Amino acid sequence: MNRLILLSAWMLLGLAGCGGSGGGSDPTPPPPPPPPTPLSKAEAFQFLNQSTFGATELEADRLIVMRQEAWIDDQMTKPVSLQLPHVQSLPLPQFQFQLQADRVDIWFRNALHGDDQLRQRVAFALSEIMVVSQLGALSNAPYALADYYDILARNAFGNYRDLIDEVTLHPAMGVYLSMLGNEKPNPALNIRPDENYARELMQLFSIGLVELNPDGSNRLDGQGQSIPTYNQEIIEGFAHVFTGWTWAGSPSFEQARGTRLNQVIPMELWEDFHDAGPKALLNNVSLAAGQGGVKDLSDALDNVFNHPNVGPFIAIRLIHRLVTSNPSPAYISRVSAVFDNNGSGVRGDLGAVVMAILLDEEAHPAVRTDQHGKIKEPLLRLTQLWRSYDATSISGRYPINFAYIVFGQGPLQASHVFNFFSPFYSPPGEIRDSGLVAPELEIATEYLNTFVTNFMFLQVFGLNSTNTNLQDDDVFINFESEMLLAADSDLLIDTVAGKLLGGEISTTLRNEIAGMLALIPETDTTVRAAEVIYFIVTSPEYAYQR
């Protein structure tokens, strides 16, 4: 029947077009649109370095066939690679902190081999916005951290409102920012609600310190001054909202204790310890007294979620983590608009936001400028190398538990709630003088750069498949195919540059490598191959994400 209706409609349209007479002729149909310009390998690498834990030639070939939008759609259907089931499957050690190494191990497995690469990359970005960390009060809570990361992964393409609800009630966040066990005021005992989570929810997770325009610029008052988003009264209002919550399944509020089981269960409300009074929130909103802790929490999170700052705030931070450190105001505005409305009237659709970020014209500009691209996070330099050269170990494990020492960062291993680096960091010199930022350079100290360079040297020259003395947990790479080409300098350079740079290598870097190869006998295939890989993975061209 639908087919008949459509046919009738087409007939009516045809009659209308010819004035109802039978003497007209059908108009010439418009020519089909031209096929899209094929993606180059370099363009595929650029996109995959924004959306995965490192471009590989195999995935680049797949992307070239699928194109970006279909690839994103496909990624969003992939099952979530989780951490908690793996950590829970392991024997319970004498001390729970010993499982942190296993938590980091499964993070690397998912980052390197997970089919849901885009989801895992976005989860990592979210983990750098809504920070909790192993370094501190959660050192003995591996289950909580694994489950917290899993909620970031599960919600990576979900709704931001659902995400902040789960983040707020997760015990990992409750412990880290001291909402867990927060109780209503008691002047007789000098008890006042803790303000920690109230501050960071607003400052770091949602709206920032000053009101923003949709393009991310500061809104100004009549005197040309930035307008604060909140004051002390509002901080106290939210702090009072976040009272009465503690470990689930506890015999009482005072006797609540964390266990292996309730580390992964949302916190539970004890109404007697929740402040029942009125509370001042954002935008001159006040919560009525006596409506209960669950309603208070829901209304308060709605209040944050609907603040106009959230769109540009989240847009800037996700663009920073995925694409570029210096997005234009127009880029921010376009992504912010998608956060406000995904095209179907839905606010906070993170999947739509991620797609808007990755498909925007500024994510793949026809002409690059200093504004485009970003420094790769040190951990992403490692994962790209490992993905390109099939890194594994005899045991199958990736025991890099102290990645934050070598690389300045590790999964849920930030040194403070402000992440590994500030989104506003601008190193002195040319970058700062140009009014640009480079957040990742905040941890690029001489100490860290030396550690990373030395690690890459050890990885390439020592921890590779030609080493016959590898230990079970040594993560090694395989470049035996490059060794077969080692006698041909140009072919060797082209091959490695193809794997690590998408084929884009400067004449300067090529000549430096060729000069080194001229000093090494053609028969020393291992060293020749290793030198080319080492030169590239320690080069500025590799450290720069186009």
Compute the average pLDDT of residues 398-422.
95
Please name which of 412, 358, 353 lies closest in space to residue 158, comparing C-alpha atoms: 353
**pLDDT at residue number 111:** 98
| Length of the chain in terms of residues written | 546
Six-digit token pair at 163? 């995400």
Confidence of residue 7 (pLDDT cuts 50, 70, 90): very low
**Residue for token digits 């590790």?**
410
pLDDT on residue 162: 98
Mean pLDDT of 480-491: 98
Mean pLDDT of 217-239: 98
Beta pairing class for 268-269 and 279-280: unpaired
Q: Mean pLDDT lowest for which of 36-45, 137-146, 355-364?
A: 36-45
For residue 12, the model assigns a pLDDT of 29
Distance CA 442, CA 226 (A): 26
- 8 Å CB contact between 357 and 331: no
DSSP state of 98: G
Q: What is the pLDDT of residue 368?
A: 80
3-state SS, residue 291: coil
Q: Write the pLDDT tens digit of every residue in 380-400.
A: 999 999 999 999 999 999 999
Helix-helix angle 196-203:232-241, to 10 degrees = 110
**H-state helical runs in 389-458:** 403-407, 430-433, 446-457
- Position 25 scores a pLDDT of 57
Q: Please check the confidence at residue 323 and state whether its pLDDT lies above 70.
A: yes
Residue with tokens 């800037």: 316
pLDDT category of residue 31 using cuts at 50, 70 and 90 = confident
User: What is the structure's pLDDT at 367?
Assistant: 83
Q: Per-residue pLDDT tens for 267-300?
A: 999 999 999 999 999 999 999 999 999 999 999 9
> Is residue 30 helix, strand or coil?
coil
Angle 517-519-520 (CA atoms, 0-180°, nearest 5)? Answer: 70
> What three-state secondary structure class fits 269?
strand
pLDDT at 467 over 50: yes
Tokens of 125: 């970005």
Average pLDDT over the chain reads 94
How do residues 110-164 score in pLDDT, each as one tens digit?
999 999 999 999 999 999 999 999 999 999 999 999 999 999 999 999 999 999 9
Percent of the chain with pLDDT over 90: 91
Kindly tell me if the per-residue pLDDT of 523 is higher than 80: yes
> What is the pLDDT at residue 318?
98
* Backbone angle region of 462, left / alpha / beta, with phi > 0 → left and psi within -120 to 50 → alpha: alpha
pLDDT at 181 (0 to 100): 97
Cα–Cα separations (whole angstroms), residue 375 to 132, 145, 380, 426, 543: 23, 27, 10, 12, 6
For residues 248-271, average pLDDT: 96
Both structure tokens of 74: 């496909």
Give the per-residue pLDDT at 36: 78
Residue 531 predicted with pLDDT over 60: yes
State what percent of residues in the chain have pLDDT above 70. 95
* Model confidence at 9: pLDDT above 80: no
**pLDDT for residue 19:** 40
Of 373, 374, 355, 353, whose CA–CA distance to 364 is shortest? 373
346, 159 Cβ separation under 8 angstroms: yes
Q: What is the pLDDT of residues 86-102, one digit of tens each?
A: 999 999 999 999 999 99
Region of 300 on the Ramachandran plot (φ > 0 left; ψ -120 to 50 alpha; else beta): alpha
Decide: 244 and 300 in contact? Cβ < 8 Å: no
Task: Summarize pLDDT for 335-353 with one digit per residue, the tens.
Answer: 999 999 999 999 999 999 9
Statement: residue 14 has pLDDT above 90: no
* pLDDT value of position 27: 74
pLDDT for residue 366: 84
- pLDDT for position 24: 52
Q: Give residue 8's pLDDT band: very low, low, confident or very high (50, 70, 90).
A: very low
Average pLDDT over residues 174-199: 96
What distance in Å separates the CA atoms of residue 409 and residue 420, rounded to the nearest whole number?
6
Q: What is the reported pTM?
A: 0.93
The single residue listed with the structure tokens 């941890």 is 443
